[in-house]
Structure 1
Amino acid sequence: MTFLRSTLYNSIDASVRGYASTDAVSGLIDVEVEGGQVSFTPRDEDDVPPTPYFVAVYGPDGALEAVAGGSGGIEPDFPDTFTLQATAARGLSPFALPDVEGDERFLAAVDVFQPDGVGDLFTQMVVVSTASTNQVVATFLGIYAVISVVILGAGALGTRWLVTLTFRSLGQVEDTAMSIASGDFSQRMTDIEPRTEVGRLKIAINTMLGRIDAAISQREATVRQMRRFIGDASHELRTPLVTVRGYAELYRMGAIPPGDDTAQAMDRIEKEAIRMGVLVEDLLALARLDERRDVDITPVDLRPVARDAALDVRATSPKRTVTVIEAIDDVLPGGDTPAGESDTDAKKRTSPPTAVIARAGASLLRRRSKTPPSAPADPDADTLPIAVRRPQPVVSGDENRIRQVVANLLGNARRFTGDDSPIELRVGVDPVASTGWIEVVDHGEGVPDQLKEKIFQRFWRADTSRTRETGGTGLGLSIVASIVDALHGDVRVLDTPGGGATFRVSFPLAQQREPEEHLLIETQPLPRLERDDL
């Protein structure tokens, strides 16, 4: 309908422009010039045949001089004045003109003309009615509406008949679906003909039912884990809350005298509050990772990440030896070379390791080693150099999240090894897989093979008791797994030669191998250590 209306109105526009560009006045109005004065007299209607347009003449001063033409019916409401300036501004562009009742039913165009023997210019306004065009559009609209209703009705009836005929064999599907709706998920479709739509539908339903069974089983397992975790979390929160409340009541009753006792009570309250905060932060971290928010992927050099992590551990555990090693190019992690063992082509640095990250995470089935092996250390070293080799371990990832992964793994290693047990941080590149990797190597009791897949599950703890000696909350390693998955990496646990566990985290190498300047190891000079700090 829009196309029809546009076409008809374009035709009217062309007609009114054509009439306005010709001498439309002379055929309808007599022009008399006497004494330099011009007068316009419309001819008698009996002497002039009906025309499809009206003509109005305006003088040089813009006053309406005469009106003629038309074929009867409603007449346009001509403006009382129309100056030559307005005529020049309009040109031959059509414009709407209302009728005497105020409705816009006409299109008008104007042009100038000069009667013979007169030096002044006059304006002729030609007006064409759009009533017939509007009537045609309305008629076609009604016809199309009726035809559309008839077609839609016939189509609906035909579609219903065709669907009923085609899917008449769906009775078994309906009966099976009703049984499933009542809770019997053991039902399956039979009499399957895979060449028909109904047969393919039955195959799809059977596949869906199998997945539903698996999903229900998985949900039940998750619910059991959730209930277990809720009990664990409740116990974790209840213990510090009871402690804080107990000290508060003792202080209120005056049982804690001022002085050292008050300071000790405040210290205990602070530590318990920190415990609660750590648990809440782990839960929030998992919630954010579950939301799959966009991460800031940039080139990250793994060497300064390992270096900073080692310095953090040194600040919190001065007795522990931490070695940062950049592996040689042709030795991949997990080979015959023991993790943390010095190589002729690889330099390493030692320092007492780094800060505890707020929850080491999901605990391993290991206890603190009573006789940990010692790692070589150079007490005369003033700096902690790291060998720079090629290719560089520059990966695509989020630097802050990679640092959190390393911190969680270091916290896990510190939890399950003695205070003087060494830890190695190994950094390298796997050119075959196009990945850069970082390993956290400890020398504790290791992880049994049957637990290596479970330790990354959420809410899983090897220590099912609630003594919290080593059990934790079961969130730390699940946070590691979630971050690595979000960064399209890989995390796994290997056996450390000689005893212990090696956690290896791999990330895709950055396409642009040059990281930002502040991430390069060359721009990260290590501070000199005073002898008393070692």
Structure 2
Amino acid sequence: MFLRNSLIDGVDTQLQSLAGTEAAAPLLDFSSVNGHLVVTMKESPYSVDYFVAVYDPNQGDKMLALVGGRGGPTPVVPETLSLTEAQTQSGQIRELTSADGEATFRATVSVQQYEDGGLLYPQLVASPLAGVNRTIANYLGIYSILALVILIAGAFATRLLVTLTFRSLGQVEATADLIAAGDLTQRMTDIEPKTTEVGRLKTAINAMLDRVDGAISQRDATVRQMRRFIGDASHELRTPLVTVRGYAELYRMGAVRGDEQVAQSMDRIEKEAIRMGVLVEDLLALARLDERRDVVIVPVDLRPVARDAALDVRAAAPMRPVTVLDTTLFDPEPARASETMTAPESKRRGTPPSAISRAGATLSMLRRRPKPLPATQANGSAAELPPLVPEHEPAAPADAVVPVVLGDENRIRQVVTNLLGNARRYSAEDSPIDLRVGVDGTSRMGWIEVVDHGEGVPDQIKEKIFQRFWRADTSRTRETGGSGLGLSIVASIVEALHGTVEVTDTPGGGATFRVSFPLADAREAADHASIPTQPLQRLTDAPD
């Protein structure tokens, strides 16, 4: 519609311009006879697109001639046109039609003057709209074809785009079918950029599959470990039960005679019952640790823990040298037995203190003195043991970081006790054991080390010694004793307290176990206790 109006406006402008001239001059010859206008057709008229009608005002305003056009329909024009009407309607555009009504024309009237006699006459100029209609038809045809081509091209492009898009979704569907069939190794390939929906979908599915695969791997590892755990626990419990049952049957059959044999049998039954009770307690401890029960997070000073553990070892094995070293002091060297040292109780009474009295005195000093304690050494017999508290304690540096960590004091003591039991089990009776306490300022961790000089831990089994019921002695002959749960309890406690445990070689032979816990000033105890575990962390699983 806009194009048609624009073209018609162009025709009207051209028509008004043409009406202001003698439009009939290229077609007619004008003359005047007795005041009347006479027109005749030129012998060689010009070919024009418009039509022109000439009227004579002296002959009743009748039309003298209607000429022009290049064939085709002729407009129906008025038979009469007066000068007054021509002057009044001059410049106005009217619309005419052909006799059959199919063709339309734009027309206007004007008044012209014959030059020779000054005779005025009206003229009507009409321009056909066939060209406009033809242009509109061509436009509609061309643009209809163009629109159809664009529509078809858009349809093909849309189909191609949808096909490519759904091809990626088809890959997602195919991969999902394989995963549903049990193949969890499948992953989405040809990842699109994350700016697209399909790219984000594939990335999310791959992350989900990795997590599901990790969970299933952990489940499988847990099931295998649980089966091995149940088998080992059954074997460990069956061994003392078989011994107890055997002695009971011997007694029932009368094979045990005399007080000496009965006493020997009862002694063996008691020892096996004690061993079975220890095993059951260890199993219960592991179960509680797995459930994260009974763990109370409070600030714990590692120095009294190390000192008390040394006292326990000295009471159980008086001939074994035990050294406690606090590396947070200026002088990290352990005190020597030759140095002059006195215990508070012996200084007052003037008599050599026993091991128990020295332990009590030391504990009382630890309670009264929260400052860092120096390194000490305990060895020799009970009567010759040097006390653990020197007469004058070296002062700690002003900027020293004390090894006060976040943890459960009873659990940490159990960790140190188990590590010391392991060190005693795999070293000679007179082999020294060192306990070291310190702080790692970089990681903000307080640590305690148990250093022995025994057999050491080969590299190939360092990852296995923390597994439940695992022992280097696989023959179950009990040459070194133990049920294989001590170090697994250590690992479980350290994990529950969000610490770390590592084993390295001791220079000169032996093993060094270091357990580390976050310092008390690293975070609040409540925040530390609320740290979630990682349920999808893969378990270390030994091959069957």
Written as runs of structure 1 = structure 2, the 5 A alignment for 1:453-472 is 453-470=463-480, 472=482
Written as runs of structure 1 = structure 2, the 5 A alignment for 1:174-185 is 174-185=173-184
Matched residue SS, 1:453: coil
1:329–1:310 Cα change, 3 Å: closer
Map Cα deviations across residues 353-374 of structure 1 (whole Å, 9 max, x no partner).
9xxxxxxxxxxxxxxxxxxxx9
Identify the residue that residue 427 of structure 2 maps to in structure 1: 417
How far the C-alpha of 1:402 sits from its partner, in A, is: 0.9
The answer on whether the counterparts of 1:232 and 1:473 sit within 8 Å (CA) in structure 2 is no
The answer on whether the counterparts of 2:307 and 2:324 sit within 8 Å (CA) in structure 1 is yes
Asked if residue 277 in structure 1 is aligned to residue 280 in structure 2, the reply is: no
1:188–1:242 Cα change, 3 Å: same
Give the whole-Å Cα distance in 2 for the aligned partners of 1:221 and 1:404. Answer: 27
Matched residue SS, 1:454: coil
Tell me the TM-score normalized by structure 2: 0.51
Asked if residue 492 in structure 1 is aligned to residue 502 in structure 2, the reply is: yes
Q: CA RMSD in A?
A: 3.8
Identify the residue that residue 265 of structure 1 maps to in structure 2: 265
What is the aligned counterpart of 1:507 among 517, 521, 527? 517
1:259–1:344 Cα change, 3 Å: closer
Return the letter of the residue paired with 2:203: I
Give the whole-Å Cα distance in 2 for the aligned partners of 1:383 and 1:396. Answer: 30
Return the letter of the residue paired with 2:387: T
Identify the residue that residue 185 of structure 2 maps to in structure 1: 186
Written as runs of structure 1 = structure 2, the 5 A alignment for 1:334-353 is none
Asked if residue 405 in structure 1 is aligned to residue 409 in structure 2, the reply is: no
What is the aligned counterpart of 2:388 among 384, 387, 393? 384
Identify the residue that residue 173 of structure 1 maps to in structure 2: 172
How far the C-alpha of 1:266 sits from its partner, in A, is: 1.7
Give the whole-Å Cα distance in 2 for the aligned partners of 1:188 and 1:484. Answer: 36
Is 178-187 or 395-404 further displaced after alignment? 178-187
Percentage of matched positions with identical amino acids:
74
Asked if residue 322 in structure 1 is aligned to residue 322 in structure 2, the reply is: yes
How far the C-alpha of 1:465 sits from its partner, in A, is: 3.0
The count of residues paired between Structure 1 and Structure 2 equals 321
Give the whole-Å Cα distance in 2 for the aligned partners of 1:493 and 1:240. Answer: 32
Map Cα deviations across residues 369-398 of structure 1 (whole Å, 9 max, x no partner).
xxxxx9976974452226565344333321
How far the C-alpha of 1:331 sits from its partner, in A, is: 8.0
The answer on whether the counterparts of 1:393 and 1:427 sit within 8 Å (CA) in structure 2 is yes
Give the whole-Å Cα distance in 2 for the aligned partners of 1:507 and 1:412. Answer: 21
Give the whole-Å Cα distance in 2 for the aligned partners of 1:290 and 1:471. Answer: 25
Identify the residue that residue 437 of structure 1 maps to in structure 2: 447
How far the C-alpha of 1:413 sits from its partner, in A, is: 0.4
Map Cα deviations across residues 42-100 of structure 1 (whole Å, 9 max, x no partner).
xxxxxxxxxxxxxxxxxxxxxxxxxxxxxxxxxxxxxxxxxxxxxxxxxxxxxxxxxxx
Return the letter of the residue paired with 2:178: S
The answer on whether the counterparts of 1:488 and 1:507 sit within 8 Å (CA) in structure 2 is yes
1:249–1:440 Cα change, 3 Å: same
Written as runs of structure 1 = structure 2, the 5 A alignment for 1:129-168 is none
Asked if residue 479 in structure 1 is aligned to residue 489 in structure 2, the reply is: yes
Written as runs of structure 1 = structure 2, the 5 A alignment for 1:234-273 is 234-257=234-257, 259-273=259-273
> Larger Cα Rg: Structure 1 or Structure 2?
2
Matched residue SS, 2:475: coil
How far the C-alpha of 1:241 sits from its partner, in A, is: 0.6
1:341–1:446 Cα change, 3 Å: farther
Return the letter of the residue paired with 1:176: T
Map Cα deviations across residues 107-144 of structure 1 (whole Å, 9 max, x no partner).
xxxxxxxxxxxxxxxxxxxxxxxxxxxxxxxxxxxxxx
Return the letter of the residue paired with 2:177: M
Structure 2: gaps (5+ residues): 1-164, 344-353, 357-376, 523-544
Is 209-218 or 490-499 further displaced after alignment? 209-218
Map Cα deviations across residues 179-222 of structure 1 (whole Å, 9 max, x no partner).
21222223333454343333322222223334444554454444
Give the whole-Å Cα distance in 1 for the aligned partners of 2:410 and 2:394. Answer: 22
Give the whole-Å Cα distance in 2 for the aligned partners of 1:303 and 1:427. Answer: 6
1:196–1:480 Cα change, 3 Å: same
Give the whole-Å Cα distance in 1 for the aligned partners of 2:492 and 2:405. Answer: 18
Give the whole-Å Cα distance in 2 for the aligned partners of 1:499 and 1:341. Answer: 23
How far the C-alpha of 1:293 sits from its partner, in A, is: 3.1
The answer on whether the counterparts of 2:466 and 2:488 sit within 8 Å (CA) in structure 1 is yes
1:485–1:331 Cα change, 3 Å: farther
Matched residue SS, 2:465: helix
Return the letter of the residue paired with 2:186: Q
How far the C-alpha of 1:442 sits from its partner, in A, is: 0.6
Return the letter of the residue paired with 1:398: D
Identify the residue that residue 310 of structure 1 maps to in structure 2: 310
The answer on whether the counterparts of 1:295 and 1:398 sit within 8 Å (CA) in structure 2 is yes
Return the letter of the residue paired with 2:457: V
Asked if residue 301 in structure 1 is aligned to residue 286 in structure 2, the reply is: no
1:234–1:423 Cα change, 3 Å: same
1:320–1:380 Cα change, 3 Å: closer
Map Cα deviations across residues 300-326 of structure 1 (whole Å, 9 max, x no partner).
222222222222222322332222232
Matched residue SS, 1:244: helix
1:210–1:393 Cα change, 3 Å: closer
Return the letter of the residue paired with 1:506: S
How far the C-alpha of 1:243 sits from its partner, in A, is: 0.6
The answer on whether the counterparts of 1:240 and 1:275 sit within 8 Å (CA) in structure 2 is yes
Map Cα deviations across residues 20-59 of structure 1 (whole Å, 9 max, x no partner).
xxxxxxxxxxxxxxxxxxxxxxxxxxxxxxxxxxxxxxxx
